[in-house]
Structure 1
Amino acid sequence: MKIAAVQHDIVWEDRDANFARLAPQVARAVGAGAELVLLTETFSTGFSMTPGIGEPEGGPSSEFLAAQAAEHGVWVAGTCPETDVEGELPYNTFVLAGPDGTAHRYRKLHPFADERTRFRSGTGPVTVEVGGLRITPFICYDLRFADVFWGAAPDTDVYLVPANWPSPRRHHWSALLQARAIENQAYVVGCNRVGTAGDGTEHAGDSHIVSPMGDLLATASGVETIVLADVDAAEVAATRDRFPFLGDRRHLADRKS
């Protein structure tokens, strides 16, 4: 499967403006052969803590993803602030919309800093099979918590990690994406935004697609662009056959318990 990460800027708290900007970028990714298109974390609002920024589950942001998936016959994903109960704080929700109208959701496990007071935490990882690939999404700050990646590794071929990762810690972002790929012998697709957020935070992009051996298959610097690469479940299986250390990690954990 060919996966594209759309590295884009975000108009602060303006869903309609972002939909208008992103629709042509999704189309370009599909035109380049992408079968799954990944947008950034909070692609429609920016990483906003404004009270009331949430939308109902199935609201305008997920409707945009679903419409793009249906129009182009591909899978389209990104995160948005969604609440499943009126009046409750939203989740930072990863929505994976399919061309057949299906939608899968993962809710960010690890809210970052002030996000803890404005968003609820999810309850656990979610893995979805798409086109023969086992896909597990995580979101931005989740990248720092190796244990959740480890736990999902036996059933994962590809991790998708949309983000609003700030420029001052850009080397952490790149290093951790490669580390998560190497230690779990899986592809990692990191899609980070560019530009300046409404709160003044700068973002450098550095979107990467990393192989199960930790090689950079595609990468981008600080401009709006698309990174694209083929991912193959057979390559994950072959890598794990050559270097079967995931089993050793489980055995050691069992021994300690």
Structure 2
Amino acid sequence: MKIAALQTTIAWEDPRANFDHLRPLLQAAAAAGAALVVLPEMYACGFSMNTAAIAEDIDGPSVSFLREQAAALKLWLCASVPVRVPLEDGGADRPSNLFLLAGPGGELHRYAKRHPFTFADEHLHYRAGDATTTVALGGLRISPFVCYDLRFADDFWRLAHDTDLYIVVANWPERRREHWKTLLRARAIENQAYVLGVNRVGTDGNGLDYAGDSALIDPLGEMLTVASGDP
């Protein structure tokens, strides 16, 4: 399976601008033969705690963009989106930082980030997920995680027996870039699986800088490919 990782800048809290930026990049990835395209965490808004402005329903614009592009380009497309998930009693609650994997036939697989980034108060604005998931695509067993989840090795280990590739989408700041690179390699070595980490670049609305360092690591810990700090 040919996989494209799109390491991009993200316009702050501006989904439409991000959609316009991504369309030609997605078309180029499809033209190059990609069957799966991976975008960063909160690809349409950046890592914002302003949930009143950015959270959306499961049929909202950021989710719909993923589904529409996957169908139009006949590929699988994934990223995370702040999504309001209804409670069983019908009441309102914090949204989840939801990893979504949209398929060419209308499929939509979901994983809610289990470990909100407490140092940025993400846990006060987003509801943590309570389960992991593994999805089979063309014989490739993929287990998704979101950013801070990368620090919790036990979650990866529990899925190791049934995982060929871990995908980690992130908004991981430049000042902790060595943690990012080291932890990606550690998860690959520990679990004898491939790990694809896809991070953003640029500066967000809070003034945090991002270095990218998106990478694909093999089970031996070798970096098969690594992106620079450019989009």
The aligned amino acid for 1:89 is R
Alignment counterpart, residue 90 of structure 1, candidates 81, 92, 95? 95
Structure 1 partner of 2:22: 22
**Superposition pairs for residues 180-219 of structure 1, below 5 Å?**
180-219=187-226
The aligned amino acid for 1:9 is T
In 1, Cα distance between the equivalents of 2:27 and 2:193?
A: 27
Offset of 1:84 from its aligned partner? 1.6
Offset of 1:51 from its aligned partner? 3.5
Is the aligned partner of 1:42 residue 2:49? no
Offset of 1:5 from its aligned partner? 0.8
Is the aligned partner of 1:165 residue 2:166? no
| Unaligned runs of at least 5 residues, structure 2 | none
Structure 1 partner of 2:72: 71
Offset of 1:25 from its aligned partner? 1.1
In 1, Cα distance between the equivalents of 2:104 and 2:183?
A: 31
Offset of 1:61 from its aligned partner? 1.0
Alignment counterpart, residue 107 of structure 2, candidates 102, 105, 129? 102
Offset of 1:215 from its aligned partner? 1.2
In 1, Cα distance between the equivalents of 2:97 and 2:219?
A: 27
Q: How many residue pairs are counted as aligned between the two chains?
A: 224
Structure 2 partner of 1:56: 57
The percent of aligned pairs where both chains have the same amino acid is 54
In 1, Cα distance between the equivalents of 2:75 and 2:221?
A: 27
The aligned amino acid for 2:113 is K
Give the structure-2-normalised TM-score: 0.95
The RMSD of aligned alpha carbons is: 0.9
Alignment counterpart, residue 155 of structure 2, candidates 138, 148, 151? 148
* CA radius of gyration, larger in: 1
Point out 4+ residue stretches in structure 1 off by more than 4 angstroms.
Answer: none
The aligned amino acid for 1:178 is R
Give the structure-1-normalised TM-score: 0.85
In 2, Cα distance between the equivalents of 1:59 and 1:210?
A: 33
C-alpha offsets along residues 90-135 of structure 1, whole Å, 9 cap, x if unaligned?
0000000000001000000000021010000001111111111111
> Conserved in 1, the CA contact under 8 Å of 2:51 and 2:95?
no
> Conserved in 1, the CA contact under 8 Å of 2:35 and 2:75?
yes
| Unaligned runs of at least 5 residues, structure 1 | 225-257
Is the aligned partner of 1:133 residue 2:140? yes
In 1, Cα distance between the equivalents of 2:78 and 2:206?
A: 25
Q: Secondary structure at the match of 2:104?
A: coil
C-alpha offsets along residues 21-49 of structure 1, whole Å, 9 cap, x if unaligned?
01111112222221100000000010000
> Conserved in 1, the CA contact under 8 Å of 2:186 and 2:221?
yes
The aligned amino acid for 2:51 is P
C-alpha offsets along residues 45-77 of structure 1, whole Å, 9 cap, x if unaligned?
100001312100131111111111111111000
